[in-house]
Amino acid sequence: MREQVEAFRDKVEAELEQEDVRWDWQVAAGNEGQGLARQVALNDLAIVGGSVAGSLAIHCRTPVLVMPDSARSFTADGPAAVCWNGSIEAARALRCAVPLLAGASAVHVLSVGDPLSESEDKLAAIAAADYLARHDIVCEIVELPRGSEPVHELLFHAARARKAAFMVMGAYGQPRIVETLFGGVTKGVLASPAMPVLMAH
């Protein structure tokens, strides 16, 4: 295992030395999620893949960019899809994503369901658009009818139809029982992300 770790480190460091960024290498033993949560606490963004992404998004306050297993790059200047349900988590994810959205070629705010049935404690999609406008980011609001298709699949289909390079969404769940409450849209997205997804809790 040590030989595999060293070989992987040599490969990664060789690639990082070609980039114009500061970096360092940390090795830690123990619970993967807790170790990562400590490491990313003083970082602007955590880029992860695999099953640890959901737990990390819930346990830490750092935005998490979840990469599909097949991803080999990230296109920051492509179109972006913002998954909007008016929640505090969705609003926080939107705020965290502003630097990325400012460089996106287009921004689509995807809202699933009947906007007239929204509860008073939810922010309408137009509020998200107004917030983005304050940052000089123009967006298109896309209202998606709620059908029989799972919401996460509906969102992925809508994002792909708009050639989105990445998605933005809130992460939902309670830290101490995240395994049992991590259901619905968040679980569906994390099970098999169709594209990079920026998540925040």
DSSP line for 110-150: EEES-GGG--TTS--HHHHHHHHHHTT---EEEEEP--SS-
CATH 3.40.50.620 fits 80-200, yes or no: yes
Instruction: Render pLDDT for 2-26 as a digit per residue (tens, 0 to 9).
Output: 899 899 999 999 999 998 888 888 8
Round to whole Å and give the CA distance between 187 and 60. Answer: 17
Mean pLDDT for 174-180 is 42
Residue 173 vs residue 109, higher pLDDT: 109
Least confident of 22-26, 35-39, 95-99, 129-133: 35-39
* Per-residue pLDDT band at 72 (split at 50, 70, 90): confident
Distance CA(156)–CA(199), nearest Å, equals 15
Percent pLDDT > 70 in the chain is 89
- For residue 64, the surrounding DSSP H or E stretch is strand 64-66
- For residue 165, which of 96, 69, 100, 91 has the smallest C-alpha distance? 100
Strand order from edge to edge, sheet including 46-48 = 46-48, 64-66, 197-200, 166-170, 80-84, 107-112, 140-144
3-class SS shares of the chain: helix, strand, coil, % to 5:
45, 15, 40
What is the C-alpha separation between 85 and 68, in angstroms, rounded? 23
Confidence of residue 119 (pLDDT cuts 50, 70, 90): low
Q: Are 184 and 151 in contact (CB under 8 A)?
A: yes
Q: What is the pLDDT of residue 65?
A: 94
State the chain's mean pLDDT as an integer.
85
Give me the residue spans of the domains in the chain. Answer: 80-200
pLDDT reported for residue 86: 93
Query: What is the rounded average pLDDT of the residues 60-84?
Result: 91
